[in-house]
Structure 1
Amino acid sequence: MSSSSGAIAGKGGGRLGNVLSGVAVALGCALFLGGFVWGAVVYRPYTVPTNSMQPTVNPGDRVLAQHVSGSDVRRGDVVVFQDDLWDPQPLVKRVVGVGGDVVACCDTQGRLTVDGKPVQEDYLKDSPLNSLTKFSSTVPHGQLFLLGDNRAVSEDSRLHLTDVNHGSVPASDVKARVDGTVWPLGRLGTMDRTPAFDALPGGGASARGPLKLLVVMVIAGAVLIFGGAAYGPLARLRRRK
Protein backbone atom coordinates (compact mmCIF):
# COMPACT_ATOMS: atom_id res chain seq x y z
CA MET A 1 0.00 0.00 0.00
CA SER A 2 2.72 2.41 0.93
CA SER A 3 4.69 1.50 -2.19
CA SER A 4 1.67 2.19 -4.39
CA SER A 5 0.95 5.49 -2.63
CA GLY A 6 4.59 6.52 -3.09
CA ALA A 7 4.42 5.75 -6.79
CA ILE A 8 1.24 7.79 -7.19
CA ALA A 9 2.79 10.68 -5.25
CA GLY A 10 5.90 10.46 -7.37
CA LYS A 11 3.89 10.60 -10.59
CA GLY A 12 1.89 13.55 -9.29
CA GLY A 13 5.04 15.38 -8.31
CA GLY A 14 6.58 14.60 -11.69
CA ARG A 15 3.58 16.02 -13.54
CA LEU A 16 3.67 19.18 -11.44
CA GLY A 17 7.38 19.52 -12.05
CA ASN A 18 6.89 19.14 -15.79
CA VAL A 19 4.18 21.80 -15.77
CA LEU A 20 6.35 24.20 -13.78
CA SER A 21 9.38 23.58 -15.99
CA GLY A 22 7.23 24.28 -19.06
CA VAL A 23 5.99 27.53 -17.54
CA ALA A 24 9.58 28.52 -16.69
CA VAL A 25 10.74 27.88 -20.26
CA ALA A 26 7.79 29.78 -21.73
CA LEU A 27 8.31 32.74 -19.40
CA GLY A 28 12.04 32.64 -20.07
CA CYS A 29 11.48 32.75 -23.83
CA ALA A 30 9.11 35.71 -23.43
CA LEU A 31 11.65 37.64 -21.34
CA PHE A 32 14.64 36.70 -23.49
CA LEU A 33 13.05 37.45 -26.85
CA GLY A 34 11.11 40.42 -25.48
CA GLY A 35 14.31 41.99 -24.22
CA PHE A 36 15.99 41.63 -27.60
CA VAL A 37 12.98 42.90 -29.54
CA TRP A 38 12.50 45.88 -27.21
CA GLY A 39 16.21 46.66 -27.46
CA ALA A 40 16.12 46.50 -31.26
CA VAL A 41 13.24 48.98 -31.31
CA VAL A 42 14.69 51.42 -28.78
CA TYR A 43 18.43 51.25 -29.48
CA ARG A 44 20.81 51.42 -32.41
CA PRO A 45 24.54 50.60 -32.41
CA TYR A 46 27.04 53.26 -33.49
CA THR A 47 30.80 53.17 -33.85
CA VAL A 48 32.65 56.16 -32.37
CA PRO A 49 34.71 57.63 -35.24
CA THR A 50 37.26 59.85 -33.42
CA ASN A 51 39.13 60.32 -30.13
CA SER A 52 37.30 63.55 -29.33
CA MET A 53 35.22 61.94 -26.56
CA GLN A 54 37.98 60.22 -24.63
CA PRO A 55 38.04 59.02 -21.92
CA THR A 56 34.24 58.59 -21.93
CA VAL A 57 34.37 56.62 -25.17
CA ASN A 58 37.34 55.67 -27.32
CA PRO A 59 37.67 55.68 -31.11
CA GLY A 60 36.32 52.40 -32.45
CA ASP A 61 34.08 51.78 -29.42
CA ARG A 62 30.69 50.33 -30.30
CA VAL A 63 27.98 52.13 -28.34
CA LEU A 64 24.25 51.64 -27.93
CA ALA A 65 22.26 54.83 -28.34
CA GLN A 66 18.58 55.28 -27.55
CA HIS A 67 16.32 56.91 -30.11
CA VAL A 68 15.21 60.24 -28.64
CA SER A 69 13.78 63.49 -29.93
CA GLY A 70 16.21 66.38 -29.96
CA SER A 71 13.74 68.33 -27.84
CA ASP A 72 14.23 65.76 -25.05
CA VAL A 73 18.02 66.20 -24.94
CA ARG A 74 19.46 67.96 -21.90
CA ARG A 75 22.80 69.37 -20.78
CA GLY A 76 25.33 66.66 -20.04
CA ASP A 77 23.84 64.10 -22.43
CA VAL A 78 26.22 62.36 -24.83
CA VAL A 79 24.47 62.27 -28.19
CA VAL A 80 24.86 60.94 -31.70
CA PHE A 81 24.06 63.63 -34.25
CA GLN A 82 24.57 64.35 -37.91
CA ASP A 83 24.96 67.85 -39.30
CA ASP A 84 26.11 68.24 -42.91
CA LEU A 85 27.89 71.51 -42.09
CA TRP A 86 30.08 69.63 -39.61
CA ASP A 87 30.56 66.19 -41.14
CA PRO A 88 28.53 63.84 -43.37
CA GLN A 89 28.96 60.95 -40.89
CA PRO A 90 27.31 60.66 -37.46
CA LEU A 91 29.37 62.20 -34.66
CA VAL A 92 29.37 61.74 -30.88
CA LYS A 93 29.62 64.81 -28.61
CA ARG A 94 28.39 66.05 -25.24
CA VAL A 95 25.64 68.66 -24.92
CA VAL A 96 26.87 71.57 -22.76
CA GLY A 97 24.29 74.17 -23.70
CA VAL A 98 20.65 74.25 -24.79
CA GLY A 99 18.49 76.99 -26.29
CA GLY A 100 18.87 80.29 -24.41
CA ASP A 101 22.08 79.33 -22.58
CA VAL A 102 25.16 81.52 -22.66
CA VAL A 103 28.14 79.17 -22.92
CA ALA A 104 31.53 80.74 -22.24
CA CYS A 105 35.14 79.88 -21.56
CA CYS A 106 36.63 80.21 -19.12
CA ASP A 107 36.57 81.36 -15.50
CA THR A 108 39.74 81.99 -13.49
CA GLN A 109 40.02 78.26 -12.71
CA GLY A 110 39.74 77.26 -16.36
CA ARG A 111 36.18 76.00 -16.04
CA LEU A 112 33.45 76.27 -18.66
CA THR A 113 30.55 78.50 -17.60
CA VAL A 114 26.87 78.26 -18.53
CA ASP A 115 24.80 81.38 -17.82
CA GLY A 116 27.71 82.63 -15.72
CA LYS A 117 27.82 79.53 -13.50
CA PRO A 118 31.02 77.44 -13.55
CA VAL A 119 30.63 73.78 -14.45
CA GLN A 120 32.81 71.14 -12.79
CA GLU A 121 33.32 68.69 -15.63
CA ASP A 122 34.88 65.64 -13.99
CA TYR A 123 34.52 63.59 -17.16
CA LEU A 124 37.13 65.58 -19.10
CA LYS A 125 40.35 64.01 -20.31
CA ASP A 126 42.42 66.99 -19.18
CA SER A 127 41.64 69.52 -16.48
CA PRO A 128 41.73 72.45 -16.12
CA LEU A 129 40.45 73.38 -19.57
CA ASN A 130 43.56 75.28 -20.59
CA SER A 131 43.25 73.93 -24.14
CA LEU A 132 40.10 75.98 -24.76
CA THR A 133 40.24 79.30 -26.58
CA LYS A 134 38.22 81.98 -24.82
CA PHE A 135 34.75 82.45 -26.28
CA SER A 136 31.17 83.29 -25.41
CA SER A 137 28.14 82.14 -27.35
CA THR A 138 24.39 82.45 -26.84
CA VAL A 139 22.67 79.27 -27.97
CA PRO A 140 19.63 79.99 -30.19
CA HIS A 141 16.36 78.37 -29.17
CA GLY A 142 15.92 74.92 -30.66
CA GLN A 143 19.71 74.51 -30.90
CA LEU A 144 22.40 72.66 -28.93
CA PHE A 145 26.00 73.59 -28.11
CA LEU A 146 28.23 70.51 -28.34
CA LEU A 147 31.76 69.86 -27.08
CA GLY A 148 33.99 66.80 -26.91
CA ASP A 149 35.36 65.51 -23.61
CA ASN A 150 38.88 65.53 -25.07
CA ARG A 151 38.93 69.29 -25.56
CA ALA A 152 42.52 69.43 -26.78
CA VAL A 153 41.66 67.61 -30.04
CA SER A 154 37.89 67.80 -30.38
CA GLU A 155 36.46 69.55 -33.42
CA ASP A 156 33.19 70.85 -32.04
CA SER A 157 31.06 73.97 -31.56
CA ARG A 158 34.16 76.07 -30.89
CA LEU A 159 35.20 75.72 -34.54
CA HIS A 160 31.82 76.97 -35.78
CA LEU A 161 31.37 80.08 -33.66
CA THR A 162 31.27 82.30 -36.74
CA ASP A 163 28.49 80.25 -38.33
CA VAL A 164 24.97 81.63 -38.47
CA ASN A 165 24.04 79.47 -35.44
CA HIS A 166 27.07 80.61 -33.39
CA GLY A 167 28.52 77.11 -33.15
CA SER A 168 25.33 75.28 -32.24
CA VAL A 169 23.41 72.70 -34.24
CA PRO A 170 19.65 72.18 -34.57
CA ALA A 171 18.27 69.84 -31.93
CA SER A 172 16.59 67.97 -34.79
CA ASP A 173 20.06 66.81 -35.92
CA VAL A 174 20.24 64.51 -32.89
CA LYS A 175 19.74 60.86 -33.80
CA ALA A 176 20.09 59.23 -30.38
CA ARG A 177 21.45 59.49 -26.83
CA VAL A 178 24.30 57.17 -25.83
CA ASP A 179 23.42 54.80 -22.98
CA GLY A 180 26.27 52.29 -22.92
CA THR A 181 29.27 50.64 -24.57
CA VAL A 182 29.02 47.08 -25.91
CA TRP A 183 32.42 46.68 -27.56
CA PRO A 184 35.20 46.04 -26.76
CA LEU A 185 34.16 43.69 -23.95
CA GLY A 186 36.66 45.28 -21.58
CA ARG A 187 34.62 48.51 -21.72
CA LEU A 188 31.20 46.82 -21.60
CA GLY A 189 28.79 48.76 -19.41
CA THR A 190 26.26 51.57 -19.13
CA MET A 191 27.22 55.23 -19.32
CA ASP A 192 26.99 57.22 -16.10
CA ARG A 193 24.91 60.38 -16.13
CA THR A 194 26.94 63.40 -15.07
CA PRO A 195 25.77 65.69 -12.23
CA ALA A 196 27.87 68.57 -13.63
CA PHE A 197 24.88 70.61 -14.81
CA ASP A 198 22.39 69.73 -12.06
CA ALA A 199 22.62 73.12 -10.34
CA LEU A 200 21.57 75.02 -13.47
CA PRO A 201 17.95 76.02 -14.09
CA GLY A 202 16.27 73.15 -15.88
CA GLY A 203 18.72 70.65 -14.41
CA GLY A 204 21.27 68.39 -15.97
CA ALA A 205 21.43 65.14 -17.86
CA SER A 206 18.42 63.06 -18.83
CA ALA A 207 17.24 60.04 -16.87
CA ARG A 208 18.72 56.69 -17.81
CA GLY A 209 17.19 54.70 -20.63
CA PRO A 210 15.90 51.13 -20.24
CA LEU A 211 19.24 49.48 -21.10
CA LYS A 212 19.82 47.96 -17.64
CA LEU A 213 16.26 46.63 -17.54
CA LEU A 214 16.74 45.03 -20.96
CA VAL A 215 19.93 43.32 -19.79
CA VAL A 216 18.13 41.99 -16.68
CA MET A 217 15.28 40.68 -18.86
CA VAL A 218 17.65 38.84 -21.20
CA ILE A 219 19.69 37.32 -18.36
CA ALA A 220 16.60 36.31 -16.36
CA GLY A 221 15.06 34.81 -19.50
CA ALA A 222 18.19 32.75 -20.21
CA VAL A 223 18.28 31.46 -16.61
CA LEU A 224 14.62 30.40 -16.75
CA ILE A 225 15.04 28.70 -20.14
CA PHE A 226 18.07 26.66 -19.07
CA GLY A 227 16.62 25.95 -15.63
CA GLY A 228 13.29 24.77 -17.02
CA ALA A 229 14.93 22.71 -19.75
CA ALA A 230 17.24 21.06 -17.23
CA TYR A 231 14.37 19.84 -15.01
CA GLY A 232 13.44 16.84 -17.14
CA PRO A 233 16.95 15.29 -17.41
CA LEU A 234 17.64 15.96 -13.71
CA ALA A 235 14.32 14.40 -12.63
CA ARG A 236 14.98 11.27 -14.73
CA LEU A 237 18.48 10.99 -13.28
CA ARG A 238 17.09 11.25 -9.75
CA ARG A 239 14.48 8.55 -10.41
CA ARG A 240 17.12 6.19 -11.76
CA LYS A 241 19.20 6.70 -8.63
Structure 2
Amino acid sequence: MDTEAKPTERDRSSDPAAGSEERSRSARFSRLAASMSWRRTAALSAACAAFVLLLSNFVVQPYLIPSGSMEPTLHVGDRVLVNKLAYRFGAEPLRGDVVVFDGTGSFAREAPQGNPVSGLLHGAVASLGLVEPDETDYVKRVVGVGGDRVVCCDRRGRIEVNGSPVTEEYLYPGNRPSRVRFDIVVPDSTLWMMGDHRDASRDSRDHLGEPGGGMVPVDRVVGRVDWIGWPPARTGSLPGSGAFTGVRAPTGGAHG
Protein backbone atom coordinates (compact mmCIF):
# COMPACT_ATOMS: atom_id res chain seq x y z
CA MET A 1 0.00 0.00 0.00
CA ASP A 2 1.46 3.29 -1.14
CA THR A 3 1.34 5.68 1.73
CA GLU A 4 3.53 8.35 0.08
CA ALA A 5 1.61 11.52 -0.40
CA LYS A 6 1.21 12.49 -4.09
CA PRO A 7 1.88 16.07 -5.07
CA THR A 8 -1.29 17.91 -5.87
CA GLU A 9 -1.68 20.86 -8.28
CA ARG A 10 -2.02 24.08 -6.40
CA ASP A 11 -5.11 26.15 -6.82
CA ARG A 12 -3.87 29.00 -9.05
CA SER A 13 -6.65 31.27 -7.92
CA SER A 14 -5.24 31.15 -4.43
CA ASP A 15 -1.74 32.10 -5.62
CA PRO A 16 -1.35 35.91 -5.46
CA ALA A 17 1.56 35.95 -7.92
CA ALA A 18 -0.29 33.89 -10.51
CA GLY A 19 -3.43 36.01 -10.18
CA SER A 20 -1.44 39.17 -10.59
CA GLU A 21 0.25 37.82 -13.72
CA GLU A 22 -3.09 36.81 -15.23
CA ARG A 23 -4.59 40.23 -14.52
CA SER A 24 -1.55 41.86 -16.12
CA ARG A 25 -1.95 39.74 -19.25
CA SER A 26 -5.64 40.58 -19.38
CA ALA A 27 -4.92 44.31 -19.06
CA ARG A 28 -2.30 44.13 -21.83
CA PHE A 29 -4.75 42.29 -24.05
CA SER A 30 -7.46 44.90 -23.37
CA ARG A 31 -5.06 47.74 -24.19
CA LEU A 32 -3.97 46.00 -27.40
CA ALA A 33 -7.59 45.39 -28.40
CA ALA A 34 -8.49 49.02 -27.69
CA SER A 35 -5.46 50.22 -29.67
CA MET A 36 -6.37 48.01 -32.63
CA SER A 37 -9.99 49.18 -32.45
CA TRP A 38 -8.90 52.85 -32.39
CA ARG A 39 -6.55 52.34 -35.33
CA ARG A 40 -9.25 50.51 -37.27
CA THR A 41 -11.72 53.33 -36.58
CA ALA A 42 -9.15 55.98 -37.55
CA ALA A 43 -8.28 54.15 -40.77
CA LEU A 44 -11.96 53.73 -41.66
CA SER A 45 -12.65 57.41 -40.93
CA ALA A 46 -9.68 58.48 -43.07
CA ALA A 47 -10.82 56.24 -45.92
CA CYS A 48 -14.36 57.64 -45.73
CA ALA A 49 -13.07 61.22 -45.68
CA ALA A 50 -10.83 60.53 -48.67
CA PHE A 51 -13.74 58.96 -50.55
CA VAL A 52 -16.03 61.92 -49.85
CA LEU A 53 -13.34 64.42 -50.92
CA LEU A 54 -12.69 62.50 -54.13
CA LEU A 55 -16.42 62.31 -54.79
CA SER A 56 -16.87 66.05 -54.21
CA ASN A 57 -13.85 66.92 -56.36
CA PHE A 58 -14.79 64.83 -59.36
CA VAL A 59 -18.45 63.76 -59.25
CA VAL A 60 -20.90 65.58 -56.96
CA GLN A 61 -20.00 68.52 -54.73
CA PRO A 62 -22.17 69.96 -51.96
CA TYR A 63 -22.40 73.75 -52.11
CA LEU A 64 -23.76 76.12 -49.49
CA ILE A 65 -25.86 78.97 -50.94
CA PRO A 66 -24.53 82.16 -49.32
CA SER A 67 -26.89 84.83 -50.71
CA GLY A 68 -30.40 85.46 -51.98
CA SER A 69 -29.36 86.24 -55.56
CA MET A 70 -31.03 83.07 -56.87
CA GLU A 71 -34.30 83.32 -54.94
CA PRO A 72 -36.90 81.91 -55.22
CA THR A 73 -35.13 78.97 -56.91
CA LEU A 74 -32.44 78.73 -54.22
CA HIS A 75 -32.62 80.14 -50.69
CA VAL A 76 -29.91 81.36 -48.36
CA GLY A 77 -28.59 78.35 -46.43
CA ASP A 78 -29.68 75.76 -49.00
CA ARG A 79 -27.15 73.03 -49.56
CA VAL A 80 -27.23 72.02 -53.18
CA LEU A 81 -25.50 69.17 -54.98
CA VAL A 82 -23.46 70.23 -58.00
CA ASN A 83 -23.16 67.66 -60.78
CA LYS A 84 -19.52 67.90 -61.90
CA LEU A 85 -19.98 65.31 -64.64
CA ALA A 86 -22.67 67.30 -66.44
CA TYR A 87 -20.17 69.00 -68.77
CA ARG A 88 -17.23 66.58 -68.61
CA PHE A 89 -17.77 64.60 -71.81
CA GLY A 90 -18.21 67.22 -74.50
CA ALA A 91 -21.53 68.65 -73.29
CA GLU A 92 -21.72 72.38 -72.58
CA PRO A 93 -24.07 74.47 -70.42
CA LEU A 94 -27.47 75.19 -71.92
CA ARG A 95 -29.68 78.22 -71.58
CA GLY A 96 -31.68 77.87 -68.38
CA ASP A 97 -29.09 75.74 -66.56
CA VAL A 98 -28.26 76.81 -63.00
CA VAL A 99 -24.51 76.45 -62.59
CA VAL A 100 -21.71 77.07 -60.11
CA PHE A 101 -18.64 78.73 -61.61
CA ASP A 102 -15.36 80.34 -60.66
CA GLY A 103 -15.78 84.05 -61.36
CA THR A 104 -12.07 84.87 -61.16
CA GLY A 105 -11.25 87.17 -64.06
CA SER A 106 -14.91 87.78 -64.97
CA PHE A 107 -16.93 88.54 -61.83
CA ALA A 108 -13.98 88.89 -59.45
CA ARG A 109 -10.42 90.11 -59.73
CA GLU A 110 -7.49 87.81 -59.17
CA ALA A 111 -7.26 87.38 -55.39
CA PRO A 112 -3.88 87.85 -53.68
CA GLN A 113 -2.23 84.67 -52.48
CA GLY A 114 -3.14 83.91 -48.85
CA ASN A 115 -2.01 81.27 -46.41
CA PRO A 116 -1.89 78.07 -48.51
CA VAL A 117 -2.61 75.80 -45.54
CA SER A 118 -5.71 77.71 -44.42
CA GLY A 119 -6.78 77.92 -48.06
CA LEU A 120 -6.58 74.17 -48.45
CA LEU A 121 -8.47 73.58 -45.20
CA HIS A 122 -11.20 76.04 -46.18
CA GLY A 123 -11.45 74.46 -49.62
CA ALA A 124 -11.77 70.98 -48.14
CA VAL A 125 -14.51 72.02 -45.70
CA ALA A 126 -16.30 74.10 -48.36
CA SER A 127 -16.22 71.11 -50.71
CA LEU A 128 -18.37 69.28 -48.16
CA GLY A 129 -20.90 72.13 -48.09
CA LEU A 130 -20.19 72.90 -44.43
CA VAL A 131 -19.04 76.51 -44.86
CA GLU A 132 -19.58 79.25 -47.42
CA PRO A 133 -17.65 78.72 -50.66
CA ASP A 134 -14.73 80.86 -51.80
CA GLU A 135 -15.60 84.48 -52.57
CA THR A 136 -14.85 83.83 -56.23
CA ASP A 137 -17.45 81.05 -56.54
CA TYR A 138 -20.87 82.04 -57.85
CA VAL A 139 -24.17 80.37 -58.65
CA LYS A 140 -26.25 81.87 -61.49
CA ARG A 141 -28.52 80.89 -64.37
CA VAL A 142 -27.25 80.65 -67.93
CA VAL A 143 -29.21 83.13 -70.07
CA GLY A 144 -26.98 83.30 -73.13
CA VAL A 145 -24.47 80.89 -74.70
CA GLY A 146 -21.80 81.44 -77.34
CA GLY A 147 -23.20 83.21 -80.42
CA ASP A 148 -26.42 84.38 -78.72
CA ARG A 149 -27.60 87.96 -78.98
CA VAL A 150 -29.19 88.88 -75.65
CA VAL A 151 -31.23 92.09 -75.50
CA CYS A 152 -33.11 93.84 -72.72
CA CYS A 153 -35.78 94.58 -73.13
CA ASP A 154 -38.64 94.30 -75.62
CA ARG A 155 -41.81 96.43 -75.48
CA ARG A 156 -43.31 94.13 -72.85
CA GLY A 157 -40.19 94.29 -70.70
CA ARG A 158 -38.97 90.78 -71.54
CA ILE A 159 -35.44 89.71 -72.35
CA GLU A 160 -34.94 88.58 -75.93
CA VAL A 161 -32.47 85.91 -77.02
CA ASN A 162 -31.80 85.79 -80.77
CA GLY A 163 -34.96 87.78 -81.32
CA SER A 164 -37.17 85.43 -79.28
CA PRO A 165 -38.84 86.86 -76.15
CA VAL A 166 -38.24 84.84 -73.00
CA THR A 167 -40.90 84.48 -70.31
CA GLU A 168 -38.87 83.82 -67.17
CA GLU A 169 -41.26 82.13 -64.76
CA TYR A 170 -38.48 81.60 -62.23
CA LEU A 171 -37.94 85.32 -61.48
CA TYR A 172 -38.35 86.64 -57.96
CA PRO A 173 -41.92 87.97 -57.55
CA GLY A 174 -42.10 91.66 -58.39
CA ASN A 175 -38.73 91.78 -60.16
CA ARG A 176 -38.36 93.00 -63.72
CA PRO A 177 -36.19 90.90 -66.04
CA SER A 178 -33.67 93.73 -65.75
CA ARG A 179 -33.58 97.40 -64.76
CA VAL A 180 -30.38 97.71 -66.80
CA ARG A 181 -30.74 97.86 -70.57
CA PHE A 182 -28.22 95.99 -72.68
CA ASP A 183 -27.67 94.56 -76.14
CA ILE A 184 -24.79 92.10 -76.30
CA VAL A 185 -23.53 89.19 -78.37
CA VAL A 186 -22.01 86.37 -76.35
CA PRO A 187 -18.54 85.33 -77.64
CA ASP A 188 -17.87 81.68 -78.36
CA SER A 189 -16.96 79.50 -75.36
CA THR A 190 -18.43 82.02 -72.91
CA LEU A 191 -21.73 82.47 -71.07
CA TRP A 192 -24.01 85.35 -70.08
CA MET A 193 -25.13 84.76 -66.47
CA MET A 194 -27.97 86.26 -64.46
CA GLY A 195 -29.48 85.62 -61.04
CA ASP A 196 -33.18 84.85 -60.59
CA HIS A 197 -33.53 87.59 -57.97
CA ARG A 198 -32.62 90.29 -60.46
CA ASP A 199 -32.87 93.20 -58.02
CA ALA A 200 -30.47 91.47 -55.60
CA SER A 201 -28.05 89.83 -58.01
CA ARG A 202 -24.65 91.07 -59.12
CA ASP A 203 -24.19 89.24 -62.39
CA SER A 204 -23.06 89.73 -65.98
CA ARG A 205 -24.94 93.06 -66.19
CA ASP A 206 -22.71 94.58 -63.50
CA HIS A 207 -19.51 93.86 -65.44
CA LEU A 208 -20.48 95.15 -68.88
CA GLY A 209 -17.82 97.88 -68.87
CA GLU A 210 -15.02 95.70 -67.54
CA PRO A 211 -12.54 93.50 -69.43
CA GLY A 212 -14.46 90.46 -70.62
CA GLY A 213 -17.75 92.35 -70.56
CA GLY A 214 -19.27 90.15 -67.87
CA MET A 215 -18.86 86.96 -69.92
CA VAL A 216 -17.91 83.80 -68.04
CA PRO A 217 -15.62 81.31 -69.83
CA VAL A 218 -17.20 77.88 -70.16
CA ASP A 219 -14.09 76.25 -68.73
CA ARG A 220 -14.68 78.15 -65.46
CA VAL A 221 -17.93 76.29 -64.84
CA VAL A 222 -17.65 73.88 -61.90
CA GLY A 223 -20.87 72.01 -62.61
CA ARG A 224 -24.64 72.11 -62.84
CA VAL A 225 -26.91 72.41 -59.82
CA ASP A 226 -29.20 69.39 -60.07
CA TRP A 227 -30.46 68.78 -56.53
CA ILE A 228 -31.24 70.50 -53.25
CA GLY A 229 -29.97 68.30 -50.42
CA TRP A 230 -30.89 70.46 -47.41
CA PRO A 231 -33.09 71.51 -45.62
CA PRO A 232 -35.38 68.45 -45.61
CA ALA A 233 -38.46 70.50 -46.50
CA ARG A 234 -36.83 71.54 -49.78
CA THR A 235 -34.98 68.34 -50.68
CA GLY A 236 -35.40 67.25 -54.27
CA SER A 237 -34.27 67.81 -57.84
CA LEU A 238 -34.06 71.36 -59.10
CA PRO A 239 -37.16 72.22 -61.14
CA GLY A 240 -36.52 72.60 -64.85
CA SER A 241 -37.50 75.60 -66.94
CA GLY A 242 -39.10 75.78 -70.36
CA ALA A 243 -38.33 79.49 -70.71
CA PHE A 244 -35.82 78.99 -73.54
CA THR A 245 -37.49 76.22 -75.53
CA GLY A 246 -38.64 78.64 -78.25
CA VAL A 247 -35.29 80.40 -78.66
CA ARG A 248 -33.82 80.13 -82.15
CA ALA A 249 -30.24 79.12 -82.76
CA PRO A 250 -27.83 82.05 -83.17
CA THR A 251 -27.09 83.22 -86.69
CA GLY A 252 -23.93 84.82 -87.99
CA GLY A 253 -21.64 83.40 -85.28
CA ALA A 254 -20.33 85.08 -82.19
CA HIS A 255 -18.46 88.33 -81.98
CA GLY A 256 -15.68 89.16 -79.56
Gaps of 5+ in 2: 1-50, 109-134, 251-256
User: Of the candidates 217, 233, 238, which is equivalent to residue 170 of structure 1?
Assistant: 217
Q: CA RMSD in A?
A: 2.4
* Structure with the greater alpha carbon radius of gyration: 2
**How far apart are 1:186 and its partner, in Å?**
1.2
User: Of the candidates 68, 86, 92, which is equivalent to residue 72 of structure 1?
Assistant: 92
Higher RCO (C-alpha under 8 Å, 6+ residues apart): 1
Question: Structure 2 length normalisation: TM-score?
Answer: 0.61
Aligned counterpart, 1:50: 67
Q: Percent identity?
A: 43
The reply on whether 1:103 has 2:150 as its aligned counterpart is: yes
Gaps of 5+ in 1: 1-35, 204-241
Aligned residue pairs total: 168
Report Cα offsets for 1:151-170 as digits up to 9, x if no partner. Answer: 01100000011123222110
> Within 2, Cα distance between the matches of 1:131 and 1:80?
21
Matched residue SS, 2:191:
strand
Aligned counterpart, 1:10: none
> Within 2, Cα distance between the matches of 1:127 and 1:101?
27
Runs of 4+ residues deviating >4 angstroms: 36-41
More helix by share: 1
> Within 2, Cα distance between the matches of 1:141 and 1:195?
23
**How far apart are 1:90 and its partner, in Å?**
1.3
The answer to whether the Cα contact below 8 Å between 1:69 and 1:172 also exists between their aligned partners in 2 is: no
Report Cα offsets for 1:129-179 as digits up to 9, x if no partner. Answer: 265211111100000000000001100000011123222110111001000
The answer to whether the Cα contact below 8 Å between 1:140 and 1:165 also exists between their aligned partners in 2 is: no
> Within 2, Cα distance between the matches of 1:107 and 1:163?
25
> Within 1, Cα distance between the matches of 2:78 and 2:193?
20
User: Of the candidates 58, 81, 90, which is equivalent to residue 101 of structure 2?
Assistant: 81
